[in-house]
Structure 1
């Protein structure tokens, strides 16, 4: 059964296959401003090396720490991978707080499911599994955004209790409670 795990070298081979799938659909191109796009551009030529991949996974895990170096426009972020055994199925990032850019377009949580694993409920399950983690980080309600034309992602967000807020710059913005309705804090 799939689960959210910190980035791990145990899924190296499957991760590489997943990144190849993302690249085949255009991810990593110069105009891809997503986290996964930036990482493909930075690592695609070296991820195959086990030592570089181990450094990459350690770097991703360290990004959750406040003191880790990061660009001034980035906030601490917990990256988790959706894994089933040794199969990498996708990734999810929980940004610990919002800056102006994230408040406008990016939100607290972003996720990607590799193309060959789509349309199987993985994104919905990933987001559901991330909500208690966001709550443990002190986030009562997460902002999750999607492109206006991304009907699948909108359904994922709404299936997890997302309440539509507004549309900005071609993005739909939803607030998703991190605790089940009626739960005591």
Structure 2
């Protein structure tokens, strides 16, 4: 059996000068385009060719469109996504720090309010003790105010009556 394969990438695998025992089995190839031709005249050469082409096919490097400047959109998009993720992480960290600071501020304000309430209560007690009278002192103050009222009223009445009295 004989096979003929003529892709240009397999030109390096051509077997020129290999002598076979079956010289009568050659294949003539009519190619419209000029391309290198690999002529395989026996099974060993065909097996060798198939294994080497499989090895070359497997070992071929994948072409990455992101490496080509024109098609580098995927790479740019990936880097933009990474930057966006980093910015979001930084924003979340900043927000958490802000919340912690706000919580500390609220806690401090609550402490200040409690302290102010205690001071107000203490001041009220001091005012009550300074201004506040006992029951007996309060009764004495009321009696003194009534007596003062009577004295003032009497003097006013005497002053009015004295002015009306005939002068002799």
> Structure 1-normalised TM-score?
0.17
Query: As a proportion of its length, which structure holds more strand?
Result: 1
Higher helix share: 2
Higher RCO, Cα 8 Å, sep 6+: 1
Q: Which has the larger radius of gyration?
A: 2
